[in-house]
A and B are shown apart, each in its own frame.
Chain A
Amino acid sequence: MPTMFEMIGFSEQGWGAALLKGLAMTLQISAGAFVVGLIVGLVVACLKLGAPKPIAALARGYTTLFRAVPELLMILLLFYVGSMLLNRLMESMGYDAVNVSGPLAAILVLGLVQGAYASEIFRAAIQAIPFGQIEAGKAFGLHGFGLFRRVTLPIMAPYAMAGMANLWINLIKDSALISVVGTNELLYTAKQAAGSTRQYLLFYLTAAALYYAVTLASNYLSGRLERRIRRWMPVVD
């Protein structure tokens, strides 16, 4: 019977390599979902602020719904509905049914949940921009996407920074929920390891320590990034 350290180590009976692979998958899923959430959030925030009324209402409905329904339920729902719709589509086009599992579905599902939260942060950040700045941009002849890219986006970034850093940490924690639908990320690997060795406490604590390390590192890095991105802003105390 291997000792505890051999079990989480990198020897042949050890689960160390598998756990690190799971961690890499967790980070990949989180990073992918963050990018999806960023794009969805920006688009939805702009729709909420500037689109015609019915579309703006739709965008608000999306935000309310995705923030009121438990993430776990949302993941199950999008996963099953998504795979069913995709299979119908494939069937109607004459292909075989595909098995929707794995990282890509996870990224899309988490990204959609993330987008709802991100859109609120971006909306608040865009509204925090002094209106004169945008008027100045317009006076210089900027409009449309150019105005957004050169004026709105850089000025709003510092306001959105703290909220987005929080979202990133929430996302890493939410990515553990993906293990329920069987994507082999960190928690899923830990579950397998715990089940086959019957050392539940050992493996779940190890996985928790890995998540904690990622959170601490994220906190440190986002703190540095925030200081850099806010360097031109007046000091408020």
Chain B
Amino acid sequence: MIPAWILEYASLLVRGLQTTIAILLISSVAGFVLAVLVALARISKNKLIARTSLFFTSVTRGTPLLIQIYIFYYGLGSLFAQFPLIRGSFFWPYMRDGYWYIVFALVVSVGAYVGEVIRGGLLAVPKGEMEAASAFGMTPRQALLRVRLPRALRLLLPTLAGETVMLLKSTALASTIAVIDLLGAANVVRAQTLQVYEPLLLVAGVYVCLTFLIEALFAFAERRGTPVRRSA
């Protein structure tokens, strides 16, 4: 009972799904690294660093993601095209493709949104635990990597699940700059089969499944990653 168009365009749709997942994975991992740096900068004692990172999060969270994508893709893209050095370089074929622009825009966006979340988590780690870490002779860097950050992340897992779902939904904007992601593939099918909405319904279902999958993964991580406290 599967409609013929699904079978005919199955490989295109699957490739779209792969693109969506690839964008999601790359930008969540790279964005997470940026987010930790942004969070550390936000709580830095150096005023200049703290202000700069506050400005970055404020602007990124205060403007629509779509317009940021346009600024990177059309704005910077047309700027790059004016330099023969860049045009002639080895990277040019990659720099014309929308793919890396959407990844870049999403990394920046995750850096700002999740950075703010991680900042809250870092501030929520009890002071006594940090003091205990330094009493054990850990350097500030060790205390951060072994105590403060892991503790904050465990507190934040439910929030991070929500942010990852938001990121999944943001990847759909890739289709606006001619990247064939899941939504882009549906749009191709629509254009070629003249079906108004059926392909959209199909990929909407896929997005819902992906959302449940992300939530299940985070729930699993929460159960596995949270050690049971035993009294000594």
Contacts and interface: CB of A to CB of B under 8 A. Distances in A.
Contact of B176 (A175, A180, A208, A212): A180
Contact of A73 (B196, B204, B211): B204
B207 A201 contact: no
Given A201-B76, A204-B70, A215-B62, A70 B200 contact: no
B214 to A, nearest CB: 10
B204 A69 contact: yes
A69 to B, nearest CB: 5
Contact of A212 (B59, B74, B197, B207): B59
B207 A211 contact: no
Interface in B49-98: 59, 62-68, 70-71, 74-79
Choose among A73, A177, A201 the residue with the greatest number of B CB atoms under 10 Å from its CB. Answer: A73
A204 B65 contact: no
Given A69-B208, A72-B172, A200-B70, A176 B64 contact: yes
Contacts of B204: 69, 73-74, 77
Given A70-B183, A73-B172, A198 B75 contact: no
B165 interface: yes
Contacts, number: 102
A187 interface: yes
Interface of B: 59, 62-68, 70-71, 74-79, 165, 168-173, 175-176, 183, 196-197, 200-201, 203-204, 207-208, 211-212
Interface of A: 64-65, 67-74, 76-77, 80-81, 84, 169, 172-177, 179-180, 187, 190-191, 194, 198, 200-201, 204-205, 207-208, 211-212, 215-216
